[in-house]
Amino acid sequence: MLANDSLPNPYVDLKFPLFGDTIPFNHGYPLYGAISHQFPVIHDLETLSIHPITGKPEFPHLLHLTEDSSLCLRLPINQVPLIYRLAGKTLTLNQHKIRLGLPESQFITPHHHLYSRLVVIKGFDDPQPFLEAAQRQLNQRNITANLSLITRPQGEPIRRIIKVKKRTLVGYGVKISDLNEQDSISLQEQGIGGKHKMGCGVFLPCNHRRN
C-alpha cells in the first residue's frame, strides 16, 4: 500500500547493500562524516535522515556487518538522484571501510505503531523530562498518539548515547502507538528530536524492531 503516493514528493527509504567486515558500534557521526566527505551536498538536505546500520554487536566498540546490513537513507523522492551516486563508493568510518552496492527504494507507508532506537532532545537527559519534551513535540504537530520509552524487562528505560566529536549526547528508545495514517507518515518523514543524519529520531514499524 502506497498511501502517500499522491503527495508531490513522497518520502522513500533508499537502501544500499553493504560490503565490509566491521564498523564502529557508535557509528552515527562517523557515518555522516564519511558520506558528507563524498557528497558535501548532504549538509544542505534538511529533509534527509540516516537509519542506524544493523549488525552483530561486539560490545563496546564494534559492529560486525551481516548479509542483512545496509545503509538506508530516508528522503523525498525528488532528492534520490543526489544520493544515488553513492552506489559503488567506499566509505571510511574511522579506520573501517565499507563499500556500497546498488540501492533499492521503498515508499514510506503508514503503520499504527512505530519506534526509534535512539531519540535525542537537547537539554533533556533524564527519563521523565525527556518524555515530557518528546510529548510537547508531538503536541506542536497535532499528533495524537501514545508515547512511551522503550524499557528493559525489569522496566528501566533504555538509555543510549551518541558521540559527536568530543561530546556525548544522551537519549532513549521511544515507542509511539495508536497513530492514524496521516500522523504515521508525518512522524516517519520528520521524526522527533535532533541528529537525524546521525541515526537518531528515525522511526520504523515496531515489527522491524531490533535491539
- Report the CATH number that the domain containing residue 59 is assigned in CATH: 3.30.70.1890
**Domain C-terminal end among 107, 138, 158:** 107
Span 51-68, mean pLDDT?
A: 94
- The whole-model pTM stands at 0.91
Burial of 113 per CB tally in 10 Å (0-12, 13-18, 19+)? middle
- Whether residue 106 is predicted with pLDDT greater than 80 in this model: the reply is yes
Nearby residues of 114 by Cβ (< 8 Å), 6 or more positions away: 175, 176, 177, 179, 184, 187, 188, 203, 204, 205, 206
**Domain C-terminal end among 78, 107, 136:** 107
Say if residue 70 is in the same domain as residue 96: yes
CB atoms inside a 10 Å sphere around CB 32: 21
- Whether residue 4 is predicted with pLDDT greater than 80 in this model: the reply is no
Domain region containing 199: 114-208
**Domain C-terminal end among 71, 91, 107:** 107
Helices (H) and strands (E) counted in the chain, each on its own, are 4, 14
Q: Are strands 167-177 and 204-205 parallel, antiparallel or unpaired?
A: unpaired
Residue 20 in any domain: the answer is: yes
- Whether residue 66 is predicted with pLDDT greater than 70 in this model: the reply is yes
